[in-house]
Amino acid sequence: MNPWIQLSIDYANQRSYLDDLFKVYPTIPDGIRELDEKLWKNIKNSFKKKDNAGLIENLVKLNLFPIKDSYVAYLKRDRKAFERNPQIVARLAGRLYEMGLDTIYARCSEPKETNRQIGPLFRRWLSNKSLGVPYLKADEFLNKKGNAVLNAGDAEMMAFARKHLNYKHPKGLDFIARFNGKYVIGEAKFLTDFGGHQNAQFNDAIATIKAKNVNAVKVAILDGVLYIKGNNKMYRDITTRYKKENILSSLVLREFLFQL
């Protein structure tokens, strides 16, 4: 097995892994969403008048609809559908009347899910020079010879990898660095649970390290539940079919890079 996989598993199971990981991914929920006062006034009026169409039409203008329902997305994208489908509108409105205005407000103003905030956190951690090397814009990164991490957005990072590292994989990158004269590329993921979207995130990172003919060391910087020992698919994969790949926690990334 790749020793960095084993080191990551050991770290997750023997040390204060989550406490340390919080420095990389401080997923603190945002405050409540602020609702537009005029729009909320219209919602209240429609609610009090039992104006089904008006209530739904105003609520779909908010970023977060107060109930999960398969038909809401369609109504958001086709506003004329309100007139053509009064029964669907009445069904949704009935559920909303049962909830009451206070609950509707609370649901519509809920904080964003922390999963949606995770993406930028890894780069913010890098920007704090947590790896102990400069965090440089593309021109300076190219011109300087020493160890450094590239400071770039998604599009710029992809363009750099295509131009300089022969990276032709369609997935974007979260990390480009140069250590001891070697370029390193990778994706960073915090896998918070098993199944569904998280499996897709895992597969994306694996596909990146499987990309062919890249002029760089490829790494999957993965954290989260994949290091929990057991019969879960991600743990099985990293200890069997992908056991020779560079898969490692962000918490051992610095040591990995300096030993290249």
| H helix runs in 50-185, sequence order | 52-59, 72-77, 81-84, 86-99, 101-108, 119-127, 138-143, 154-165
- Position 140 scores a pLDDT of 96
- Find where tokens 């200890």 sit: 239
pLDDT at 248 exceeding the cut of 90 = yes
pLDDT (mean) for 17-23: 93
Confidence of residue 82 (pLDDT cuts 50, 70, 90): confident
| Predicted structure pTM score | 0.72
pLDDT (mean) for 97-107: 94
Q: Which residues contact 213 (CB under 8 A, 6 or more apart)?
A: 166, 168
Q: For the segment 172-224, what is each residue's pLDDT rounded down to a tens digit?
A: 899 999 999 999 999 999 998 888 888 899 999 999 999 999 999 999 999 99
- Position 111 scores a pLDDT of 74
- Position 28 scores a pLDDT of 59
- Written as six digits, the tokens of 213 are 């003919």
Confidence of residue 165 (pLDDT cuts 50, 70, 90): very high
Yes or no: say if 249 and 221 are a contact pair by the CB < 8 Å rule: yes
Nearest to 46 by CA among 33, 62, 32, 34: 62
